[in-house]
Amino acid sequence: MTLVFFLARFIGTVPITAVLVFVLLKLVARLHRRRGVDGLGRAVLVMGCDSGFGRRLAGALDRRGFVVFAGCLSPDGEGAQSLIRESSGNLKVLKLDVTKDEEVQRAKKTVQDNLPEKGLWAVVNNAGVSDWAEIEWSNVEDYRSMADINLFGAIRTTIAFLPLVRAAKGRMVFVSSIFAFFHCLNMAAYSVSKRGLEAFADCLRVETASFGVKVSIIQPGNFSGATNILKTRTALDLWEKLDEDRKKVFNRRYMEVANDYFKSTCETGFKTAEPVVTAMLHALTAPGPKSRYLLVSALDTVFFKLHPFLPTVLADSLFCFSSMYRTRAEMLFLK
């Protein structure tokens, strides 16, 4: 009887003990997380600092005391020059076109010659371009030039700078996009480059984990109103590239409507780069950075989290609800 009583009391306390241990561990983890990595004696290299996320991140890191190497396509341009004006002497602008081996090697030499005592803490592969067009309106060169910057640019700089980041047991950050996993009209070339980038970053994370290097992927949604990413291409530019056969299928009026729709959709996005820069800073300074940061509205978060698990037939059919798909079917006389 006493044994039964003892067992009942013991079993009764197990869930309470487990909850207490869980809460305690959470508190310890939170306290640990809060400490974060400071900038003192550490350098970060950011690509694509002429404008947008890269420029803002470079400024934010400078204010946190990091030595910042800000890779710019045009160091004499207004973006780079205003960054220099607004920053401390610890920020150095480098001429860095990520498609050029010699510029990457020259930048590496400058970084190595100017490293602070704790070395190169992180590289942020942020340089990128975007464009839109249906697959039949594009040629292989459109795909190649996009991948050359968004994908091979990041691979080139990673291979060059990884030994320095490995020595510091630091961070590699890759700026991807929701289009790495979400497929829709007009975004094929961009999706190809960003999906490739994520495959590269995922493999890198596995390989560098044992060296103590952490890899994070940033997945912004629509922030085109907050950066310079949007191309000022017209429907006429696209139309003029089409051959005669395709001009018979994709009429010019449709291309104008598609162009207007694309631009108006872009206008509905975030007007500030703040959420992306905050996520980048977390990836660079938190003791436990996330492997992926999805940056979309709360409602879209639910959709994008579910989307990869939907059967393809269901995911594809969701597009039927979009007004643009109906307009496309009507204007191109599709069933």
Match 């990836």 to its residue by tokens.
Answer: 283
Strand residues in the chain grouped as ranges (E): 43-46, 67-72, 91-95, 120-125, 171-175, 214-220, 292-295
Torsion of CA 319, 201, 190, 47, to 10 degrees: 140
Of 47, 115, 146, 189, the one binding ligand NAP (CB under 6 A) is 47
Query: Is residue 127 close enough to count as binding ligand NAP by CB under 6 A?
Result: yes
Query: Is residue 126 close enough to count as binding ligand NAP by CB under 6 A?
Result: yes
Query: Is residue 216 close enough to count as binding ligand NAP by CB under 6 A?
Result: no
For 126, counting Cβ atoms within 10 Å of its Cβ (0-12 exposed, 13-18 middle, 19+ buried), the class is buried
CA distances from residue 80 to 40, 86, 110, 268 in whole angstroms, order as listed: 23, 10, 17, 28
Residue window 145-184: x/- pattern of binding to ligand NAP, with contact defined by CB under 6 A: ----x---x---------------------x-x-------
Q: Which one of 190, 254, 261, 325 is the catalytic residue?
A: 190
Give the Cα separation of 129 and 131 in Å (integer): 7
Give the Cα separation of 312 and 306 in Å (integer): 12
For 96, counting Cβ atoms within 10 Å of its Cβ (0-12 exposed, 13-18 middle, 19+ buried), the class is buried
325 is catalytic: no
The distance of closest approach from Cβ of residue 202 to ligand NAP in the complex, given in angstroms and rounded to an integer, is: 17
Q: Smaller CB distance to ligand NAP: residue 43 or 73?
A: 73
For 120, counting Cβ atoms within 10 Å of its Cβ (0-12 exposed, 13-18 middle, 19+ buried), the class is buried
Query: Is residue 186 close enough to count as binding ligand NAP by CB under 6 A?
Result: no
Considering only residues 50 to 79 of the shown chain, the ones binding ligand NAP according to CB under 6 A are 50-54, 73-74
Stretch of 20-28, 93-101, 232-240, 248-256 contacting ligand NAP, by CB under 6 A: 93-101
Of 65, 84, 95, 99, the one binding ligand NAP (CB under 6 A) is 99
Give the Cα separation of 9 and 58 in Å (integer): 58
Q: Smaller CB distance to ligand NAP: residue 91 or 119?
A: 91
The distance of closest approach from Cβ of residue 228 to ligand NAP in the complex, given in angstroms and rounded to an integer, is: 3
Residue positions annotated with a catalytic role:
190
User: Would you tell me which residues interact with ligand NAP (CB under 6 A)?
Assistant: 47-48, 50-54, 73-74, 96-99, 126-130, 149, 153, 175, 177, 220, 222-224, 227-229
